[in-house]
Every structure is written in structure tokens, then in C-alpha cells.
Amino acid sequence: MDDRPVALDEYPVHQAPLSMKHHISGDRNAYDRCIFHVFDHAGRALLIAGLGVYPNTGVVDAYATLRIGDRLHAVRASDALGDDRTDLSVGPLAITVDEPLRRLSLHCAPDPAEPDGLSFDLTWTGDFPAVWEPHHTQRHGGRLTLEGRRFVQAGSCAGTLTAGGQEFVVAPGEWTGTRDRSWGVRPLPGEEPGRAVEFRPEGFHWLWVPMRFEDRFLMVIAQEDADGYRTLNEALLVRNGRRDVQLGWPRTEIAYRRGTRHPERATIHLADRSGKPLEIGVEVLASSPLAVGAGYPPATDWQHGAWRGRGWTDRRVYDLSDPAAHPVAAYGVTDHAARFTLDGRTGYGIFEHGSFGRHDPSGFTD
């Protein structure tokens, strides 16, 4: 085994007496990854892309999905993790950090065998400072199964995006971008659950809502148990050059499509520091289930961190016109591109939602 120093060891960034090649924890579920959302304001296209590193399983992988109408174009790639952690590329997918916390490039090379397949060259620019999300932990019984540190940011995008014979010119003012960076410990596929199955919750309700307005960025997070007990909470107003403002305890009313848990519109109730109510309207424009194409649980064809051998690449197109054709999608989180309204302002962002099992405040009993 070659255990020589790596390039990052030249810099004073160490947090433990280890090479930057090694993770401080031996937990196989250690991870470090990102997700980007890029979407137009008319709801025609929703791109979701990300890359993940799993240092203790030796895997690096990436994905991109683009929803246009009822078609979901997907590219996924996985490989053995190398020593250069500044090389954020896997197969045809690559991310370049041009200016940390400010400007990044997203790239998906076209497939010569599929000229109508997904490809893109985009520049993602942060318009507001990146902000921390609450420290996120979950336990099954006494075991820590999830611990993540995350930041979120909203910005604008420029470049080109192609799939299915259509080319989109991505331009600021007409498209919005959000992103999330997280690292820590998160369950990977292939691990025996052990006694953890005895501690499976009766219900889980999740909202992750970054909203970009012209002069402000709002972030709302809520995670609740079956009885509505809040285990994660955030409501933050961010403006350039000004101190962030906490906006109290978010309360959300969601109008679901009849007979489903698919949100079509919502109202988010917040309050400023004086207690004055703030009401945000939400209109869903386009939806992309993360369990289809993007590798999030409970995806059945590929999940993040799974070892697929060296140089694995997969391209496919999913038909989302019949929800019954993708039954696991309802048991995973869905990202919805959305239009938001607040005090006469119009903004755009992501309304990420998942509700599984019982949730008393929503009236879900099964």
C-alpha cells in the first residue's frame, strides 16, 4: 500500500495528526459530498447534480439528473477514490472550484454514442454568503447513524444545458441555483442493520427550503417525528453586508395533490424579531424524485457510495408520466423547483419535501 503524503498535506489545514488522505473516523459510513440545483423560472427544466467521496470505502461517485416534461435524463459515474482530493471529477462529470464559496464550474461531457444525451457546461456563482445549517444528528437506539455538518448557498447560473434534442441557454435572471455541502457520517448501502430495525420510527417528515430573492436569501428547515415533535429547525434571513436574522419557528401548511403526498403549493409562516408575522407563498413548478436517477435511498438501481468497480458510467432516461412505474419514489425525498412570494417580492428556490409513515400534523395516519 502506497501511504505517502498527498498534495493537501502541504497546506496548514490538518484537523488531526493524520495525512489528509485519511479520515479521522474509521466508520465505513463517513462521507463528504455536495448537491447543486439549477432550474429556470418557468418550470421547464430542473437539473440536480452532485459528487460524493466515501474515504473509508474507497469510493468516489457523481450524478446528474435533468427533468424536462415527463422525461428524466440521468448520468451516473463511480470509481475508485484516488489521492488527489482536489480533483472533483468522475467519468463524464466534473466540478471545479474556481473561487471558494463564490464561483464553481459544473461539467457533464456528452456521450458520442448518444448525441441527444445529457450534457452541460455551467458556471455557478454565489450571490449570497454560504451559511451553516443546524448540526444534524440521528440515532437508531444508542447508535449514531447520521451526523452531518452542512452549509447552504443561493446564487445564479450561466452556460448551456442539453438533453433530448433541446438546448437551454442558462442565464442569470432567468435561472436560479442553490447548493448544499455536507460531510460527516451517513448510512451507506450494504451494511447489515442489526438491531437498528427495532428502532425504526413510526413516521418522518422533512422540509429543506432555500429561497433566493433579488435582495435576500431565506433558508427554512424542519424535521419532525410522527407526532410532530420537531427534531431540527431553522428559519434564517440572509442579506449581503448585514447580520443574519432568525425568523422564529417555521410553520408550514401544504396543499397536497389528492390521494398523494405530492405538494402542489404551500404557505410558510414565519415571524420577524418583533413578532410580526411573515407569510411566504409557495408554488411548485417542477419536481424530481431523488430516488429516481439521483441515487438517494431507497433507489433500487444505484445508491451513493456503492462500489460498482472502476470506471463505471451509466446513462439512462426515465419516464415519469406514470408514478406507479416508480413506486420507490414515494418513499424518498423529492426536490421541487418552486416560486416563492413574500411581501410583494417574487423569488425562486427548492422546496425539498419528504413525508413517510405517520405524521399527525398533516393528518397522515398510515
Question: What is the CATH classification number for the domain harbouring 319?
Answer: 2.40.370.10
The amino acid present at 34, given as its one-letter code, is C
pLDDT digits (tens, 9 = 90+) for 17-50: 999 999 998 999 999 999 999 999 999 999 999 9
Determine the average pLDDT of the residues in 40-66.
Answer: 98
Predicted local distance difference test score (pLDDT) of residue 143: 82
| All three cell numbers of 108 | 457533464
Span of 37-51, 138-152, 273-287 with lowest mean pLDDT: 138-152
- Domain annotation covers residue 96: yes
Q: Is residue 16 part of a domain?
A: no
In a domain, 265, yes or no: yes
CA atoms of 135 and 104, how far apart (whole Å)? 25
Q: Calculate mean pLDDT across residues 296-325.
A: 95
Whether residue 11 lies inside any domain: the answer is: no
Whether 17 maps to a domain, the answer reads no
Cell numbers given for 11 = 497546506
C-alpha span between 36 and 51 (Å, rounded): 9
Instruction: Give me the chain's average pLDDT, please.
Output: 94
In a domain, 98, yes or no: yes
Q: For residue 34, what is its C-alpha cell? A: 455536495
User: Is residue 1 scored above 70 in pLDDT?
Assistant: no
Q: What is the pTM of this model?
A: 0.96
Asked if the structure places residue 162 within a domain, the reply is yes
Query: What is the tally of structural domains in the chain?
Result: 1
5 within a domain of the structure (yes/no): no
Kindly report which listed range (47-61, 197-211, 258-272) carries the lowest average pLDDT score.
Answer: 197-211
Q: How confident is the model at residue 205 (pLDDT cuts 50, 70, 90)?
A: very high
Q: What pLDDT shows up at residue 303?
A: 97
User: 352 has which bridge partners?
Assistant: 208, 335
Least confident of 82-96, 135-149, 320-334: 135-149
Domain that holds residue 145: 30-188+199-362
